Amino acid sequence: MDPNLRSVMSVEMPRVLFWNCSHGMVAKVDYIHHYLTALKPEIFFISEAEINKDRNYSCLSFQGYDLQVSKTVSCGKARLAAFIKVDSNFNRVSELENGLSEVMVFENKNLRVCGLYRPFKNLNGHTSGVAFDLLLKNLEILVKDNKDLIIGGDMNVNWLTKHPLLPKLSCWMENCGLLQMVTSNTCSQFVSKTDGIKLVESCIDLVFVKMPKKAETQPSAASDHSIIAFDLCQARKALQTVKKVVCDWRNYSKERAITCYLELGPTCNGSTARRLDDINNKLITVLNKVAPKRTV
């Protein structure tokens, strides 16, 4: 069972782990116990946990750790859980969790740690776009003070391809002044294609931080997702920043853009060049309203 895990990931430093266990925690209980024993994490976030809140899971009781689950319930189950050391100086901050997204938040005096899971299939009646907006809105709350920050988990947004939600995720990251630390594939799946079964790899387990931190990635024998680990005691480095002007698309909608354009009145009469110039000026005016410039 992952015999090289201890040697690959040293246990000297307190660390936080993020892992999509795939298809439920109960079936992976032996692996979870192994990871807790070998890596001794301060907090171990597990997505696709599939925990029924009305059921007693005695098999998930491990000495030295307390099991907590997310507020959100999809089809009667919490899909995000976390093991936290019983003597940890981290405390759960439930008021920062909106209950509409799979998010769990812990913090101590200096550091806030958030585990998350964005399901591949959207439940509770939300479309993919609405569910993603709810998640980002919840996460924006976490960056509004001076605490150091780690936000990690399975986003189901491939960081290394042109995923349709990637521009919105990148915009959120940039507006919040965060860095994404995972740059290699973290998920390997065999997928049925028209030309046969293919191995598809993706970088969907992501970790966003305020300050750069050492990250380690280790494939897991129990899941198609790797375990992502971050040291908590690594010396902070001064983060060099630059100011940049960007268009803020967070409140954009096609309907609002059309309304703003129509409010400017009909296109002027005259030559083709004059009409094109009028249209161009109106489009710039509309853009400044629906996606105003913002310094980040």
Cα 21 to Cα 224: distance, rounded to the nearest angstrom: 8
Q: Is the confidence at residue 7, as pLDDT, over 50? A: no
Given 182, 201, 231, the domain boundary residue is: 231
Cα 34 to Cα 246: distance, rounded to the nearest angstrom: 46
Task: Flag whether 238 is in a domain.
Answer: no
State residue 38 phi and psi, 5-degree precision: -75, -40
pLDDT for the residue 235: 47
Where b means 16+ CB within 10 Å and e means fewer, 74-94 reads eeebbbbbbbbbeebebeeee
* pLDDT tens digits for range 259-277: 888 888 888 888 888 888 7
**Residue 151: which domain range?**
5-231
The per-residue pLDDT of the chain, averaged, comes to 85
Q: What is the mean pLDDT of residues 194-216?
A: 86
Q: Is the confidence at residue 87, as pLDDT, over 90? A: yes
In percent, the amount of the chain with pLDDT more than 70 equals 89
When comparing pLDDT for 149 and 120, which is higher?
149
Into how many domains does the chain fold? 2
* pLDDT tens digits for range 26-39: 999 999 999 999 99
Cα 224 to Cα 269: distance, rounded to the nearest angstrom: 62
* In a shared domain, residues 217 and 154: yes
Task: Flag whether 282 is in a domain.
Answer: yes
Task: Flag whether 236 is in a domain.
Answer: no
Band of pLDDT at residue 197, cut at 50, 70 and 90: confident
* In a shared domain, residues 41 and 142: yes
Q: Is the confidence at residue 52, as pLDDT, over 60? A: yes
Q: What angle do CA 24, 26, 27 make, to 5 degrees?
A: 75
Q: Is 72 exposed, middle or buried (0-12, 13-18, 19+ CB in 10 A)?
A: buried
Q: Is the confidence at residue 128, as pLDDT, over 90? A: no
Tokens of 178: 């965060």
* In a shared domain, residues 110 and 153: yes
In percent, the amount of the chain with pLDDT more than 90 equals 44
* In a shared domain, residues 39 and 71: yes
Task: Flag whether 96 is in a domain.
Answer: yes
